[in-house]
Structure 1
Amino acid sequence: MTQARLLGGRYQVGELLGYGGMAEVHRGRDLRLGRDVAIKMLRPDLARDNTFQMRFRREAQNAAALNHPAIVAVYDTGEERAPTGETLPYIVMEFVSGRTLKEVLTAEGRLMPRRALEISADVCAALEFSHRHGIIHRDIKPGNVMLTQNGQVKVMDFGIARALASGATTMTQTSAVIGTAQYLSPEQARGEAVDARSDVYAAGCVLFELLCGHPPFVGDSPVAVAYQHVREEPKAPSESNRDVSPDLDAIVLKALSKNPINRYQSAGEMRADLLRAAAGRPVLATPVLREDETLAMPTGNRSGGNRNVARVGDARRRRTSGWLLAALSALGVLAVVALTAGLILANQPKKVDVPSVVGLTQAKATEAIVGRELKVAVGEPILNGQCTKGQVTQQDPAGGKLEIGDAVTIRICDGAVQKKVPGVLGLPRAAIDTTMKNAGFTAVFVEEDSDKPKDTGLSSTPAEGTNADEGSVITVKISKGNMGDLPSVVGKSEEEARTLLQAAGFNNIKTTKGEATDTPGTVLSQSPNGNQKRKFTETITLVLSQPQVTPSESPSPSP
């Protein structure tokens, strides 16, 4: 039987999970921590190429700097010497049990708009975190986004990512464009400098494909597709999928704007609009009119030629008619002025007090405002965990007087932003604390009796994968590490029993006398019974057999 390959003295290399342009990914096992991992190794045939060596090491550095629930975590890196002498770098990553979006699309076709919104919002959350740490991904596509079995999004493969501060943000390398053609931004396709908005464009391409089942641009060759990214306008997703709403069309088309200035300026902006659309609220994106959607304003004929002027009657009659018309016109003007002045004086605008409606429900606030003959305008909802959901949190104006018919704008509390609770099982306390903070929560730890290593996560309330208010407290149960398997020592000698119990961590041992047997000093019973998990501090009572007493012979009576 072939012995499994071992990297760094602790990582056992298992089955091949997949491969890409420069690396192979294997399932592995961390023998030191006893957990499954994914091991990414540079392909041996590329090991002598310094460019690929550099890209591979850069991926390790970039991904290791990003600790976020929606980004595949990097645990360790290292290098191995191949039998042929080349240096083979490897990356040890979080093992994600699930499917890539590419596999999901192949199996299911396009997704329901609601699900596409949620997935894209999580992708944008990962990109926002990455950009905040100065790293642009440059290769966002369905094949680089995984869905775990519980639906959690994981962005991976920072193989061509670059630090924004490095200055090396153009997309050409030896005259070749780096990236995947279907998801290239126009500036990437032209080989120009890129920034975080290029990732926004790629995220828009992915959202388009989730909604329609195909990328926004397809062609016979990568060059043909890249040309379309630069020159052709994308179609609205609703043209392929009637379930797509106008708001969702607007989000996609804004993300796919040719000019980066017209796109969302950050992944965070795009995520905010996706969350608004998912909640049924108006989005900030507005569709951009294309040339065929604009109309020229008609212009009137200003030519003054060829007019036929009719002249009627003689000159005297014309003069008399002119005076009469002038007099009537003057009287008409005076009448209008007098009537207008009278109406203004008689109908001075009446002003009313603006009621205070902060703290009322929308229905009660509307009733109070309309009761003063004012109008109600509902503004953007306020996402805040400190206000009471469903109540008016702000109004404009807050007081004073308004003319009858003017509007009072109210903003309703919509509660805190909902976020998914990350998993804690098996993670050390420090890692749980960091993970919760990155996810927007505060962790409170409660110790619990357990045989798991001390300070490792057991469970959380609310549970992993459920939604909770951003900024809320998550109660995490961690192990005291104070329990172990109690061995059964019945039938053992006292010395052997003590050795076994102490080796298992049970040092509080007490003995009592039992019945006499042929084998004194043997454990007849124990309390608690063996073969169960017990606290190390418990007293283990052993009942030991005693030696048999031989009755002495009494002297015979003398005759």
Structure 2
Amino acid sequence: MSIALPASLADGRYRLGQLIGRGGMAEVHTALDTRLGRTVAVKIMRSDLTNDEIFLTRFKREAHSVAQLNNPNIVSIYDSGEEVLKDEAGNQERVPYLVMEYVKGQTLRAIIKANGALSQRDAEQVMLGVLNALEYSHHMGIIHRDIKPGNIMISEQGIVKVMDFGIARALDDSAATMTQSQGVVGTAQYLSPEQARGENVDMRSDLYSAGCVLYEMLTGRPPFNGDSAVAIAYQHVSEVATPPSAIVPGLPKMWDSICAKAMAKDRQNRYATAGLFKNDIMAFMNGGTPVAAAFNPLTDLANMKARKAAEEEAATAALPPAGDETAATQAMTPLGAGNPTLAGAAVQTAAQAKTRKAAADAKKRKKKIIISSIAAFLALVLVGLGAWGFLNRDKRDEATVPTINTQMSKLLAREKITTAGFKYEQKDDPDSSEPAGTFTKQSPKGGSKAKKGSTVTVWFSSGPQSSKIPDVKGLDQEAARSKLEKAGFKVSPSASIEDSADVPKNKVTRTDPASGQSVPKGSSILIYISSGMTKVPDVTGKKLDEAKNYLQHFNITVQKQHSDTVPKDSVISTDPGANASVPQGSMITVNVSDGMAVKDVNGKTLREAKQILGGIKLAVNGPSDDSAVVTSQTPGAGSTIDKDNDTVTVTTEPGKADVPSYDTSTTLGAYKAQLRAAGLNNYQVRGPSDDSAKVTGVTPGGSVDKNTQITITTSSN
């Protein structure tokens, strides 16, 4: 591009990064969308195309329509605009640009160039992705017009992405022809016959180009090659491609039929839609018979030639008179002896013959002059060429240095260098952060001229060196990014936001991997940024002093309240509650237990008192059986105690019980059992003491203290 690019576009929103692609129409750079914090690709049009108002209008219209496309197999367009730039002379130019989805991966062209033909399964998956994109775009009324491996991206996750939708359409009127200047010639290997003839295109033109891409994936080469774009275009119109199975031994012949149908010369014989093309591929890969099985490419070519010949013959017959001589012939009437105008006609004919002879003589003289001039010119050219060859005899020993890239292996780099006539030298690059074995640089540079037999040195990374991740906590995002990059790490273009109790809003809270870890240089680091919010820690059940440590970044107030379940000086709850999201430094109310309120157990049996007081430690002064009755308690009812450490002391007295009744049949053994059941265990027997003795009297009777001695009088049977 003739104009130097600024550091950013759209008032600083898109911060331009490295150049990742260049074509005849535009350059593509990575960029950081500073508003949304994401990496995008920015396609900036050539400045020499910007003076065409028609181009600018169509470009805007197409960018708008293509931006409506939303399909996982299409590279999305996020934004478009124009930047007013100045060239070296101070002239202003409006340079249009597109902001697109950034796809990290490789083009299909690079993959085929590096690896050759794809497997059948890989070719199928890529083609299904391309056809999904075309099916959707055709449904939306947009024809791509430039389907080729260079416009198909394969992401690192294996997702197929078709690029440059609508751009070819923005560059032409109604048809892509060989005479237009915007790049159709550059992709002649994928031109449909109708494009080569300069005719209008439709969605079947895209399917022809897709067929060419399928052919190249299966064979490793395009269907037609030639010395020029015109020669290749001629083959698209008038020749049938070599069947893929003839190039790749063992490849099923059904691929020949599928490619041939997609690449039919007559568009009426091609797949009518991308969906039908896709269905045929899936049918074959799933063991079925595709529609293309019945297609004959030779018959298609013959029929197409016959139809075009008939159209040309009809067009010739319909042409109007082309000149005066033809018009005179058409107007001439038959001549005969009785024709009264014969004499005049003879005189006129003689005059015309004389005129024609004079014109012929003049034409001969002019032709001799032209031939002499051409001969003299050719002689001068030959002399000049000889002089140039003598003066530049050393340059004949020069050759263009091949360009090595990161996709090439060491073996492929050596082969390219030596094939071009140079000596190959390989060195390690210990300073690179790229994975071991990755190309980093070369000398001389690719594309430059150098003497054949000279040495071309190529460096490959020896692997990234490990380094500790610096601590960037508390820094702003730009300072943290700068510090990490200086340490040799890559920083993810988008940061994650999280709550933090102590780091101010918009400052770095941490990194992933964490600071202090030793990782290879060049590793990607994710930055986390404080949202300015934090979550209230859960301090329920913790002692107040411990809870204060957890809440040190908040302003806290303490409120005391009774709790039957939470020990004294422990936290009952907070307000706002645990895990609530609040601004940093918010006010937090901490509710703390001041102990358990002792309940009144006076007059209760000891069993009832234990149940009422729960798990409180209990000391008993007096009878300790469950029927004993509490007469007093310390601390008194309503007092607060620490249930885990304090003790409640109760004073008891024996409980009362009713002396059981008896009759003349009651035995001593049965009566003693009744006494024990009533809690009266203090008794004496007067009379026989065997259990079979009969009870004849009991004193005292009625309700008595449980420790009262009961006297049982007995008699023998």
Give the TM-score category using the shorter length: 0.5 to 0.7
- What secondary structure sits across from 1:135 in the alignment? coil
The answer as to whether partners of 2:535 and 2:579 remain within 8 angstroms in 1 is: no
Distance (whole Å) between structure 2 residues aligned to residue 45 and residue 154 of structure 1: 29
| Structure 1 unpaired stretches of 5+ | 295-480, 490-500, 516-522, 544-559
- How far the C-alpha of 1:274 sits from its partner, in A, is 1.2
1:245-267 C-alpha deviation (Å, 9 max, x unpaired):
12222110100110001110111
Q: Closer, same or farther in 2 for the Cα pair 1:487/1:262, shift >3 Å?
A: same
Distance (whole Å) between structure 1 residues aligned to residue 173 and residue 25 of structure 2: 20
Q: Closer, same or farther in 2 for the Cα pair 1:168/1:92, shift >3 Å?
A: same
Residue 222 in 1 paired to residue 229 in 2? yes
- Aligned equivalent of 2:130: 123
Aligned match for 1:65, one of 68, 80, 100: 68
1:65-116 C-alpha deviation (Å, 9 max, x unpaired):
2110000001111211112311111111111000000100111011011110
Distance (whole Å) between structure 2 residues aligned to residue 502 and residue 108 of structure 1: 47
1:496-553 C-alpha deviation (Å, 9 max, x unpaired):
xxxxx995256899999977xxxxxxx96124999xx96516998699xxxxxxxxxx
The answer as to whether partners of 2:24 and 2:183 remain within 8 angstroms in 1 is: no
Q: Closer, same or farther in 2 for the Cα pair 1:175/1:70, shift >3 Å?
A: closer
Residue 25 in 1 paired to residue 28 in 2? yes
- What secondary structure sits across from 2:161 in the alignment? strand
Distance (whole Å) between structure 2 residues aligned to residue 529 and residue 211 of structure 1: 65
Aligned match for 1:212, one of 219, 225, 242: 219
Counterparts of 1:532-547 in structure 2, within 5 Å, are 536=581
Instruction: Tell me which amino acid in the other structure corresponds to 1:227.
Output: Y
- Aligned equivalent of 2:533: 504
Which stretch of the first structure deviates more once superposed, 250-259 or 56-65?
56-65
1:184-221 C-alpha deviation (Å, 9 max, x unpaired):
00010000111100000000000000011111000000
Q: Closer, same or farther in 2 for the Cα pair 1:157/1:175, shift >3 Å?
A: closer
Aligned match for 1:236, one of 214, 222, 243: 243
Residue 5 in 1 paired to residue 8 in 2? yes
Distance (whole Å) between structure 1 residues aligned to residue 205 and residue 503 of structure 2: 64
Q: Closer, same or farther in 2 for the Cα pair 1:152/1:540, shift >3 Å?
A: farther
Distance (whole Å) between structure 2 residues aligned to residue 177 and residue 187 of structure 1: 17
1:262-287 C-alpha deviation (Å, 9 max, x unpaired):
11011111011111122222211123
- What secondary structure sits across from 1:224 in the alignment? helix
Distance (whole Å) between structure 2 residues aligned to residue 169 and residue 46 of structure 1: 19
The answer as to whether partners of 1:171 and 1:177 remain within 8 angstroms in 2 is: no
Q: Closer, same or farther in 2 for the Cα pair 1:258/1:289, shift >3 Å?
A: closer
- Aligned equivalent of 1:525: 549
- What secondary structure sits across from 1:169 in the alignment? coil
Distance (whole Å) between structure 1 residues aligned to residue 55 and residue 301 of structure 2: 47
Q: Closer, same or farther in 2 for the Cα pair 1:13/1:7, shift >3 Å?
A: farther
TM-score by length of 2: 0.42
- Aligned equivalent of 1:105: 112
Instruction: Tell me which amino acid in the other structure corresponds to 2:499.
Output: G
Distance (whole Å) between structure 1 residues aligned to residue 532 and residue 211 of structure 2: 60
**Structure 1 consecutive aligned stretches of length 4 or more whose deviation exceeds 4 Å:** 173-178, 291-294, 505-515, 527-530, 537-543
Aligned length: 336
Distance (whole Å) between structure 2 residues aligned to residue 274 and residue 51 of structure 1: 41
- Aligned equivalent of 1:551: none
Distance (whole Å) between structure 2 residues aligned to residue 162 and residue 136 of structure 1: 8
Residue 158 in 1 paired to residue 175 in 2? no
| Structure 2 unpaired stretches of 5+ | 303-495, 505-529, 555-577, 591-717
The answer as to whether partners of 1:487 and 1:504 remain within 8 angstroms in 2 is: no
- How far the C-alpha of 1:158 sits from its partner, in A, is 2.4
Distance (whole Å) between structure 2 residues aligned to residue 226 and residue 144 of structure 1: 20
- Aligned equivalent of 1:188: 195
Q: Closer, same or farther in 2 for the Cα pair 1:502/1:153, shift >3 Å?
A: closer
Distance (whole Å) between structure 1 residues aligned to residue 137 and residue 190 of structure 2: 18
Larger Rg: 2
- What secondary structure sits across from 1:210 in the alignment? helix
Q: Closer, same or farther in 2 for the Cα pair 1:243/1:117, shift >3 Å?
A: farther
1:474-503 C-alpha deviation (Å, 9 max, x unpaired):
xxxxxxx996223279xxxxxxxxxxx995
The answer as to whether partners of 1:524 and 1:542 remain within 8 angstroms in 2 is: no
- How far the C-alpha of 1:39 sits from its partner, in A, is 0.7
Superposition RMSD in Å: 4.0
1:397-445 C-alpha deviation (Å, 9 max, x unpaired):
xxxxxxxxxxxxxxxxxxxxxxxxxxxxxxxxxxxxxxxxxxxxxxxxx
- Aligned equivalent of 2:41: 38
- Aligned equivalent of 2:707: none
TM-score by length of 1: 0.54
Distance (whole Å) between structure 2 residues aligned to residue 3 and residue 534 of structure 1: 47
Distance (whole Å) between structure 2 residues aligned to residue 129 and residue 293 of structure 1: 30
- Aligned equivalent of 1:88: 95
Q: Closer, same or farther in 2 for the Cα pair 1:154/1:534, shift >3 Å?
A: farther
Distance (whole Å) between structure 1 residues aligned to residue 145 and residue 21 of structure 2: 21
Aligned match for 2:174, one of 155, 169, 183: 169
Distance (whole Å) between structure 2 residues aligned to residue 187 and residue 135 of structure 1: 18
Report sequence identity in percent. 45
